[in-house]
Amino acid sequence: MARARPGSRDAGIVVFAESADWHVRGLLAALKRHGCRGRLLSLKACGFAVGETAHGLLLPGFGDLLPAACFVRSVPAGSFEQVTARLGLLHALSALGVPVMNDARAIERCVDKSATTFLLARAGLPTPRTVVLEDRVAAQMRVDAAPADTVLKPLFGAQGRGLARLSPGAPLPEPETVGSVYYLQDFVAAAAPEDFRVFVVGGRAEAAMVRRGTGWITNIHQGAVGEAVAAEGPLAALAVRAAAAVGADHAGVDIIADKDGRLYVLEVNSMPAWKGLYEATGRDMAEPLAARLAAARPLPPEGSPLCASSSVSS
């Protein structure tokens, strides 16, 4: 196969998204302010073209060129095969040395809440006790024996959809309603119905808000109201460590404080929205994200001597 030409700013920075929504328009404008050409592409339109293009990928409008960098705003839903192929493309771009924010590995870790929780705990970060089981009987025994309430979450859920708070002994739903996986997490009793969203970019907490709801679910999409808080101190430090634990270059980290003020990481979102954060804080995350993308430099492809030497020195 012919050697692919490296990415360049002339080739443009790809924003993978399905439409030019508020977030995408803001990011493309911010990229332009940084002197970069942003190009909107859908992962549905991309694929592999081994033997046809120099790099073996099909990226409409690029031919044999590679992007200078890629930003993943969304991975569209589809069949298991479709999603696998789309993530495979992101893996391939990283293997070719193209900076991808966030890369497929981080996305996979964050989409699967069980993997996120495991990695948070493995990194020594405070996160609620969690059990993930396929067997309904075994899962029901956990709920029955719990000393307090348990939260049942969809493994691939987002924006507070599909959450259920179960008291000890409450019956679990049928397997088909939860994708045959029971993700059970201890309910954290807070002093008020609120939690925090911290937006991390490149190892720095850029902005944060407290989300106050009328009930225990505090997502903005479920009616909670955001209010700016300082992105500093223990809250910011915990969020930065959480993003690093899952390998996310940028992330929206959800943190809750219990009645005694102890902080726990609930989730790490690898494709976070930031409109609610902007409305609460006045900080548009398109700017630090664009700055991060503009500063990105293509890396040597995997397996090359340069790649091997750089990995040793890092």
The yes-or-no verdict on residue 229 having pLDDT over 60 is yes
CA-based nearest residue to 35, from 297, 298, 293, 299: 293
Which residue is listed with tokens 């000890």? 168
Distance CA 264, CA 266 (A): 6
Distance CA 16, CA 27 (A): 11
Angle between helices 233-245 and 113-122 in degrees, nearest 10: 110
pLDDT tens digits, 73-86:
999 999 999 999 99
SS3 for 95?
A: helix
The yes-or-no verdict on residue 47 having pLDDT over 90 is yes
- Specify the pLDDT at position 55: 96
- Specify the pLDDT at position 313: 28
Q: If you write DSSP's letter for every residue of 96-137 in order, what string do you get?
A: TT--EES-HHHHHHHHSHHHHHHHHHHTT-----EEEES-HH
- Specify the pLDDT at position 159: 55
Flag the least confident range among 34-48, 123-137, 221-235. Answer: 221-235
Distance CA 17, CA 76 (A): 8
Distance CA 226, CA 128 (A): 23
Contact 66, 298 (CB under 8 A): yes
What separation in angstroms does the CA of 277 have from each of 195, 267, 274, 282? 13, 16, 5, 8
Distance CA 286, CA 214 (A): 30
The yes-or-no verdict on residue 17 having pLDDT over 80 is yes
The arithmetic mean of pLDDT across residues 95-119, rounded, is 96
Same fold, 13-99+296-313 and 130-186: no
- Specify the pLDDT at position 191: 86
Q: Any idea of the CA torsion for 139, 145, 147, 151, to the nearest 10 degrees? A: 20
Which residue is listed with tokens 């705003």? 73
- Specify the pLDDT at position 213: 80
Q: Supply the pTM of this predicted model.
A: 0.89
Question: pLDDT above 70 covers what percent of the chain?
Answer: 88
Confidence of residue 156 (pLDDT cuts 50, 70, 90): confident
Question: For the domain with range 109-126+190-282, which CATH number is right: 3.40.50.170, 3.30.470.20, 3.40.1190.20, 3.30.365.10?
Answer: 3.30.470.20
* 269 prior amide bond cis, ω within 30: no
- Specify the pLDDT at position 7: 55
The yes-or-no verdict on residue 2 having pLDDT over 50 is no
For the chain, what is the mean pLDDT? 89
Which stretches of 130-197 are DSSP H helices?
Answer: 136-145
Confidence of residue 155 (pLDDT cuts 50, 70, 90): confident
Domain boundaries in the chain?
A: 13-99+296-313, 109-126+190-282, 130-186
What pairing do the DSSP bridges indicate for beta strands 100-101 and 69-72? parallel
CA-based nearest residue to 264, from 128, 112, 115: 128
The 3 state secondary structure assigned to 225-269 is EEEEECCCHHHHHHHHHHHHHCCCCEEEEEEEECCCCCEEEEEEE
Q: If you write DSSP's letter for every residue of 64-93 in order, what string do you get?
A: T---SEEEES------HHHHHHHHHHHHHH
pLDDT tens digits, 56-102:
999 999 999 999 999 999 999 999 999 999 999 999 999 999 999 99
* Residues forming beta bridges with residue 229, ordered by sequence position: 208
Question: For the domain with range 13-99+296-313, which CATH number is right: 3.40.50, 1.10.3470, 1.10.760, 3.30.1760?
Answer: 3.40.50
The yes-or-no verdict on residue 161 having pLDDT over 90 is no
- Specify the pLDDT at position 10: 63
The yes-or-no verdict on residue 294 having pLDDT over 60 is yes
Distance CA 224, CA 58 (A): 41
The yes-or-no verdict on residue 5 having pLDDT over 70 is no
Query: Which CATH architecture does the domain made up of 130-186 adopt?
Result: 2-Layer Sandwich (3.30)
Confidence of residue 300 (pLDDT cuts 50, 70, 90): low
The yes-or-no verdict on residue 253 having pLDDT over 80 is yes
Which tops the pLDDT comparison, 5 or 208? 208
Tokens of 157: 């859920």
The yes-or-no verdict on residue 303 having pLDDT over 70 is no
Name residues whose C-beta falls within 8 Å of residue 52's C-beta, 6 or more positions apart in sequence: 58
- Specify the pLDDT at position 163: 84
The arithmetic mean of pLDDT across residues 102-116, rounded, is 95
* Residues forming beta bridges with residue 199, ordered by sequence position: 207, 252
Which residue is listed with tokens 């490149």? 202
Q: What is the DSSP letter of 193?
A: S
Element (H, E) at 288: helix 286-295
